[in-house]
Amino acid sequence: MIRRHGVISIGATGMSENIDRLKSTSTTNVEEVSSVVTPPTTQAPQVEAVVNPEGIDTLRITGPLVVFFGPREIGKTVTLLRLCTHIRSSYQISPDQNFRTDAGYSTTISAFEALLRNMQFAPGATGNVDFLLLNVTYDGGRFCQFLESPGEHFFNRHNPNAAYPTYMNKILADDYKKIFVFFFEIGMFRSDEDLRNYSDKIGRLVSTRISSKRDEVIILCNKSDLHGHYRGGMPIKSEFRKAIYDHSSFRGLKTSLENSGFRHVPFVVFSAGAFNDDGQGQKTFAPSSTLSKGPMEADSR
C-alpha cells in the first residue's frame, strides 16, 4: 500500500502485503501468516458521542499516512480491521490516544480494540468505530499511520460538492507522504450520476491536492464476493477491472490519474468475508478463509 519509500500493499488474495517495502526499496512478498483467530465472544461497546470534526489534532499525523477514502457503508472499517489482523504478528498497532479531543474518542478506541480481538460482529453492529488514527510501529520506530474517517467526510451523494472538513484540508496541505486507497464497488450507488460525482470528486482531488512525486494511489474494488466474476474460487481481476474502469463514470478519474502522473495505479479486488443476520438485529462476520490466497487480487497495470 506504500511504494518507493516503503509499502504496505493490499495485494493478492485475502489481504497480503509487500510490507517490507517500507524498510527497503526492494520488493519482498510476505507469505500468508494466518487467518483471524477468534477468541471468546466479546461484543464491542456502543459509541454514542457525536464527533466534532473540528476538534482533530492533525499534528498527531507525521506520515507516511494511509487514507481509506470512500462513502459510507463501502467497507473501509472492515478492510482496515482485516489488514490489522494480518500485520499485527510483526508490527505493533495502536490507536493514537490524542487524535480526537472529544469525550467519545476513548469509547471509539475501546470499540476498535474489541473488534480487533474478536471480529465476530461487523462494525456496524458494534458501534461507530470509523473515525480514528492508528500508529503502526516496527522495531520501536514509526512505520506508518492509518486514517479511517467517516464516509460522509469524503463523499455525500446528497451533497457531492461539499468541501472537506478542516482537519482533512490540513492533512491534504501537509507535505508528508500519503497513500490514498480509493474504494469502489460494482453497483455501489443507485445511479450513474452518483458514481460520476464520486469519481469526479476523486479526480479533482488527484489533480489539485495529490502529488505523484510524493504520494501513492490505489484503486480498491471491495465486496467482490457479491458480484460474481469468480473462477475456481478466485476473482477474475480483468472482469472486475473492466466493470470499474470501463464504466463511463470512471472516465474523468482515469484522465485525471494519467494527467497527474499516476500511470500505473495498483488495482485491488477484495472481499473481507461473509456477513449474516443473527436474527437479533446484528450482523455476524466470518472472515475470508485466507489472507494471501483467497478473495483478494491486485493488479498494478
What distance in Å separates the CA atoms of residue 257 and residue 184, rounded to the nearest whole number?
A: 16
- In tens digits, what is the pLDDT along the chain, a chain of 301 residues? 544 333 444 443 333 343 344 443 332 222 222 223 333 333 444 434 456 666 799 999 999 999 999 999 898 988 998 889 888 889 999 999 999 988 889 989 998 888 888 766 555 644 557 789 999 999 989 999 999 999 999 999 999 999 999 999 999 999 999 999 999 999 999 899 999 999 999 999 999 999 999 999 999 999 888 888 888 878 889 999 999 999 999 999 999 999 999 989 999 998 876 555 666 665 665 555 543 333 444 454 4
pLDDT for position 233: 79
pLDDT at position 281 = 60
Global pTM reads 0.79
pLDDT number for residue 145: 97
Q: Which three cell numbers stand for residue 261?
A: 502522473
Q: Out of 3.40.190, 3.40.50, 1.10.510, 3.30.160, which CATH number does the structure's domain 19-23+49-299 have?
A: 3.40.50
pLDDT value, residue 201: 97
The secondary structure of the chain as a DSSP string is ---SS-----BTTTTB--GGGGT-SS--PPPP-------S--PPPP--PPP-TTSB-GGG--S-EEEEE--TTSSHHHHHHHHHHHHTTTSEEEE-TTSB-STTHHHHHHHHHHHHH--SB-GGGS----SEEEEEEETTEEEEEEEE--GGGT--TTSTTPPPPHHHHHHHHS-S-EEEEEEE-TT-SSSHHHHHHHHHHHHHHHHHH--TTT-EEEEEE--GGGS--EETTEE-HHHHHHHHHTSGGGHHHHHHHHHTT--S--EEE---EEEEE-SSS-EEEEE-S-SSSSS-EEE--
